[in-house]
Amino acid sequence: MAKTLMDAIALLKADHRKVEDLFEKYEKSRGKKADLAKKICTELLIHTAIEEEILYPACKGVVEMDMLDEAYVEHDGAKLMIAEIESGTPKDAFYDAKVKVLSEEIKHHVKEEEQRDGLFAQLRKSDVDLEALGKKMQARKGELAAKFKKTGLPAPITRTLKGGKVEHGHPVA
């Protein structure tokens, strides 16, 4: 069965709904939290990759640059939390809290992209070919999903955070 082709914005909104559903399942789950967290992290790493590799470059000069800059930084903040989640287990202290904070970060990011004057609305008003962009993004999603299934999730790559000096203090008692 062939996949339905979506324009770039429809594809990303479908991703948003899928991740929202996964976060909701995680919240309600009494078991399989590790599996759900892995699915969340996988979906988000694929989503951030296609936005950063394909969508955001197409947005340059078309959407407000402050909005685009903020989107990159929000992705990097999420990637740091993903790395934390991926390096732990549900038995670890703060694991559920990290998933919750990631959920809240993503809700904020989604709201900004989808709001009436947000990134998607600005992009839709432009002359960018959203169908062609969607096709490229869908192809890249498939490539990344296959790669991650075969090799596991890679360490997230940040683009805006330069690894400021951080010291790790004593664990919270």
What tens digit of pLDDT does each residue of 63-90 get? 999 999 999 999 999 999 999 999 999 9
Please name the helix (run of DSSP H) or strand (run of DSSP E) that holds residue 98, with its range, or none. helix 95-114
Asked whether residue 74 is assigned to any structural domain, the reply reads yes
Asked whether residue 97 is assigned to any structural domain, the reply reads yes
Asked whether residue 67 is assigned to any structural domain, the reply reads yes
Q: What is the DSSP letter of 115?
A: S
Asked whether residue 154 is assigned to any structural domain, the reply reads no
86-130 residue pLDDT tens: 999 999 999 999 999 999 999 999 999 999 999 999 999 999 999
Residue 3 has pLDDT above 70, yes or no: no
Asked whether residue 162 is assigned to any structural domain, the reply reads no
Q: Token pair for residue 129?
A: 């070919």
Could you tell me which of 32, 169, 48 has the C-alpha nearest to residue 102?
Answer: 48
Asked whether residue 39 is assigned to any structural domain, the reply reads yes
Confidence band of 1 (pLDDT split at 50, 70, 90)? very low
d(CA 120, CA 99): 26
Picking from 15-29, 78-92, 149-163, which range would have the lowest pLDDT averaged per residue? 149-163
Asked whether residue 47 is assigned to any structural domain, the reply reads yes
Confidence band of 5 (pLDDT split at 50, 70, 90)? low
pTM for the structure as a whole:
0.92
Average pLDDT over residues 21-45: 95
| pLDDT, greater one: 171 or 14 | 14
Average pLDDT over residues 14-42: 96
Asked whether residue 99 is assigned to any structural domain, the reply reads yes
> Apex CA 132: angle with CA 128 and CA 133, to 5°?
70
Q: Token pair for residue 158?
A: 């940040």
Range of the domain at 96: 8-149
Confidence band of 59 (pLDDT split at 50, 70, 90)? very high
Could you tell me which of 72, 73, 62 has the C-alpha nearest to residue 128?
Answer: 62
Secondary structure E strands in the chain: none
Could you tell me which of 131, 170, 149, 16 has the C-alpha nearest to residue 78?
Answer: 16
Average pLDDT taken over every residue of the chain? 93
Total domains present in the chain: 1
Average pLDDT over residues 2-24: 90
